[in-house]
Amino acid sequence: MGKDASSVSFPVDTVFEIFETLLKYTMSKITITAFIALSLITVFVKAKEINQHIDINNRNVISVVENGIKNDGTPINTELNELVRSSYGKTLFFPAGVYNLSEPMVLPFDYTKNVNIIFDKNATIRSDKHLEALLKIGFSEMSTPDRSYRRFSYIEGGLFDCSNADNGIIVNGLKQLVSLKSISLFKGRHTHISVKVTDDFKGTGSSDTKIDNITIQGISSNEEVCGIFIDKECHDIKISNTFIYGTKYGIVTKSGGHILNNIHILSQVTTGGTNLGEKNFLNTEGIRIETDDFYILHEIYFDTVDKCIVIAGDKSPVLVIDKNIYYSYLDNFGDAFISRNGTSAKQFQAKISNSIFHIRKKGYRIFDIDPLTISNDINNNLTFINNTIRNAHFLNPFDGSLSQKIRGKYSDVLVSTGQKTDNNKWYVLGSLLPSPYRNSLRLDLSHDHAIELEISYNEGKAGLLRSNITDSEKKFPFTLGYVIKDNYCVLLLKSEPQSAFSPFISDLTGLGAFMATPSKDRYYHLSDYQIEGKPKLLFINNDKE
């Protein structure tokens, strides 16, 4: 007779083995199920993200390929602009492929008829014909029922081959709130992005164009190629996270109120572009300003650009410049950071802070401007605070950044401690800017020897008004002299042989017209300032102990 099932017994080890096997099997099933569920969720989320990005299932998003537009590189005629005119208030999506335009694609001005564009990242827009532009935004339907009604017009993605176009993209500056994002424009021989006005009717003067995450590759920085051009009456543009290279002019603007952030401007020659060898990139300009307006330039990297910021003519902009970088990958290259064309001494404002200057050419200037612009600056319009200069010995000895006024300092140690002087040689203490006001300076030659001087220098004439030797228990002979050079008064010192001193000069009145020598790691001689004539004597001290 069989045993009752309830009375069947198993060894304890066997029970645990069976339980462990069942547990592993159950957990394996759970793990597989969870993995499948997680994968499905991930796919769903990704699909939802894609749908949110281009709304492919939205009736307001139109695939151009599904509406007869070819993306195989064969010519596209009027059918694309016909599709635009039938898609007002909607978004056109361009899948990957090559779109060969026979005429510019034109989007409407009227905000109520906005047509947004989304290009696949691998969608190339080009033309076999010479065109004014590949894309024109705001150049049809040139009226709007309510001028106070403004909505963003979005253009995103795509690769714009500008080799046969005068402009890659033209934005009508009268149409506000156009957003250009994540676009690459390349092979341009003229202008890649142009924001300009038309004469159809008067706008507000504020474009408010947003340019973000753009890459611009010109054909060569030796050719007349522009990255971004901004016309008059196109104010308040924001440019960010943008890389411009291979252009002679990075950004040219005839209007203001712009905020520029995180932009890299690089001189380069690309395939097919002009290469001038040792003369490469001369007269390249990073940002050219042709108006009296205000600008914020934040985190701009000027990479091997001859003139970083150019102010046209006698314009008087307001520049707030913070966390910029100047660098050259070429030896013996670079002219100036801020340059104003001509000899205008008209005041303008430039506040430079927290920036890095890596200089690789002797005679480089941070301020290539008329020295009267600095000496007549009684309102502290120009400042140069908390910046780093690498290879300071390459800096032009008459550069405005050496002025105590601009640096917000009233004293300078002119050379590091302990360096010896040579016999019967003149050493440069620094220079004076021309000024209608007298300079009250204190020159500390050592711990216990100083002289106070009142010096006038204006209109090419210098003179000692008063002198007073202080703390003179340990006297030694020295002579002060000067030379007028390029509208500056160079102050000189000559002392007894093998004297050890550390000149320390202070501005007692706060005029700030004194300019220190470029570097504190050595003494400067007449040859460093390209002085050949004999110095004129200013003060002689023959007293000894």
Listed residue (306, 500, 526) closest to 422, CA to CA: 500
Listed residue (250, 518, 140, 535) closest to 361, CA to CA: 518
Predicted local distance difference test score (pLDDT) of residue 39:
44
Span of 265-279, 461-475, 513-527 with lowest mean pLDDT:
461-475
Predicted local distance difference test score (pLDDT) of residue 542:
72
Same domain, 518 and 474: yes
Per DSSP, what are the bridge partners of residue 210? 179, 238
Same domain, 390 and 436: no
Please say whether the beta carbons of 322 and 297 come within 8 A: yes
Can you tell me the distance from the alpha carbon of 111 to that of 143, in angstroms, rounded to the nearest whole number?
9
Predicted local distance difference test score (pLDDT) of residue 323:
98
Predicted local distance difference test score (pLDDT) of residue 202:
63
Same domain, 399 and 451: no
pLDDT digits (tens, 9 = 90+) for 349-372: 999 999 999 999 999 999 999 988
Predicted local distance difference test score (pLDDT) of residue 522:
85
pLDDT digits (tens, 9 = 90+) for 211-242: 999 999 999 999 999 999 999 999 999 999 99
In the predicted structure, residue 8 carries a pLDDT above the cut 50: no
Same domain, 531 and 456: yes
* Residue 311, domain member (yes or no): yes
Task: Work out the average pLDDT over 287-299.
Answer: 97
Kindly indicate the confidence band of residue 538, based on its pLDDT and cuts at 50, 70 and 90: very high
Predicted local distance difference test score (pLDDT) of residue 40:
42
Per DSSP, what are the bridge partners of residue 249? 226, 285
Can you tell me the distance from the alpha carbon of 237 to that of 397, in angstroms, rounded to the nearest whole number?
37
262 contact partners, CB below 8 Å, separation of at least 6? 240, 241, 242, 298, 299
| More confident site: 438 or 242 | 242
Q: Are strands 325-327 and 356-358 parallel, antiparallel or unpaired?
A: parallel
Helix (H, G, I), strand (E, B) or coil at 80: helix
Look-up of token digits 């979005």: 154
Percent above pLDDT 90 for the chain: 66
Can you tell me the distance from the alpha carbon of 21 to that of 116, in angstroms, rounded to the nearest whole number?
59
Can you tell me the distance from the alpha carbon of 397 to that of 405, in angstroms, rounded to the nearest whole number?
16
Same domain, 365 and 420: no
Per DSSP, what are the bridge partners of residue 357? 326, 389
Same domain, 377 and 420: no
Please say whether the beta carbons of 101 and 125 come within 8 A: yes
Q: Which helix (H) or strand (E) holds 35?
A: helix 12-54
Same domain, 214 and 357: yes
C-alpha torsion sign, points 136, 241, 95, 66: negative
Can you tell me the distance from the alpha carbon of 403 to that of 62, in angstroms, rounded to the nearest whole number?
61
* Residue 424, domain member (yes or no): yes
* Residue 132, domain member (yes or no): no
| More confident site: 18 or 199 | 199
What mean pLDDT, rounded, does the chain reach?
87
pLDDT digits (tens, 9 = 90+) for 201-210: 566 778 999 9
Buried b (16+ CB within 10 A) or exposed e, 482-498: bbbbebbbbbbbbbeee
* Residue 121, domain member (yes or no): no
Same domain, 342 and 375: yes
Kindly indicate the confidence band of residue 336, based on its pLDDT and cuts at 50, 70 and 90: very high
Task: Work out the average pLDDT over 95-100.
Answer: 98
Domain end residue (candidates: 370, 385, 407): 407
Predicted local distance difference test score (pLDDT) of residue 129:
96
* Residue 23, domain member (yes or no): yes
Burial of 23 (0-12, 13-18, 19+ CB in 10 A): exposed
In 292-415, which residue ranges form alpha helices assigned H by DSSP? 371-375, 404-407
Q: Residue 264 is part of which domain span?
A: 148-407
CB atoms within 10 A of CB 387: 16
Q: Are strands 461-470 and 449-458 parallel, antiparallel or unpaired?
A: antiparallel
Kindly indicate the confidence band of residue 51, based on its pLDDT and cuts at 50, 70 and 90: very low
Same domain, 341 and 415: no
Predicted local distance difference test score (pLDDT) of residue 28:
52
Percent above pLDDT 70 for the chain: 83
Kindly indicate the confidence band of residue 520, based on its pLDDT and cuts at 50, 70 and 90: confident
What's the one-letter identity of residue 492?
A: L
What does the block give as tokens for 175?
Answer: 């149409």
Same domain, 491 and 529: yes
Sheet holding 411-413, edge to edge: 411-413, 504-507, 439-446, 449-458, 461-470
| More confident site: 422 or 286 | 286
Question: Quick one: CA torsion of 302, 305, 306, 312, rounded to 10 degrees?
Answer: -70
Per DSSP, what are the bridge partners of residue 425? none
Kindly indicate the confidence band of residue 378, based on its pLDDT and cuts at 50, 70 and 90: confident
Domain end residue (candidates: 363, 379, 407): 407
Per DSSP, what are the bridge partners of residue 350? 319, 382
What does the block give as tokens for 266?
Answer: 């690089």
Q: Encode 313-348 in three state secondary structure.
A: CCCCCEEEEECCEEECCCCCCCCEEEEECCCCCCCC
Question: Quick one: CA torsion of 404, 408, 411, 417, rounded to 10 degrees?
Answer: -90
CB atoms within 10 A of CB 291: 18
Which domain CATH number covers 521? Answer: 2.60.40
Domain end residue (candidates: 388, 407, 426): 407
In the predicted structure, residue 475 carries a pLDDT above the cut 70: no
| More confident site: 15 or 78 | 78
Can you tell me the distance from the alpha carbon of 271 to that of 276, in angstroms, rounded to the nearest whole number?
13
pLDDT digits (tens, 9 = 90+) for 400-435: 999 999 998 888 888 765 566 666 789 999 999 998
| More confident site: 46 or 343 | 343
Predicted local distance difference test score (pLDDT) of residue 38:
46
Span of 89-93, 319-323, 328-332, 420-424 with lowest mean pLDDT:
420-424
Same domain, 184 and 267: yes
* Residue 81, domain member (yes or no): no
| More confident site: 24 or 523 | 523
In the predicted structure, residue 24 carries a pLDDT above the cut 70: no
**How many Å from the N-terminal Cα to the C-terminal Cα in the chain?**
135
* Residue 59, domain member (yes or no): no
Domain tally, the chain: 3
Can you tell me the distance from the alpha carbon of 509 to that of 383, in angstroms, rounded to the nearest whole number?
18
Task: Work out the average pLDDT over 239-254.
Answer: 98
In the predicted structure, residue 500 carries a pLDDT above the cut 70: no
Predicted local distance difference test score (pLDDT) of residue 474:
58
What does the block give as tokens for 410?
Answer: 């009233």
Can you tell me the distance from the alpha carbon of 467 to that of 454, in angstroms, rounded to the nearest whole number?
6
In the predicted structure, residue 163 carries a pLDDT above the cut 70: yes
* Residue 395, domain member (yes or no): yes
Task: Work out the average pLDDT over 149-168.
Answer: 93
Q: pTM score, two decimals?
A: 0.86
Please say whether the beta carbons of 253 and 232 come within 8 A: no
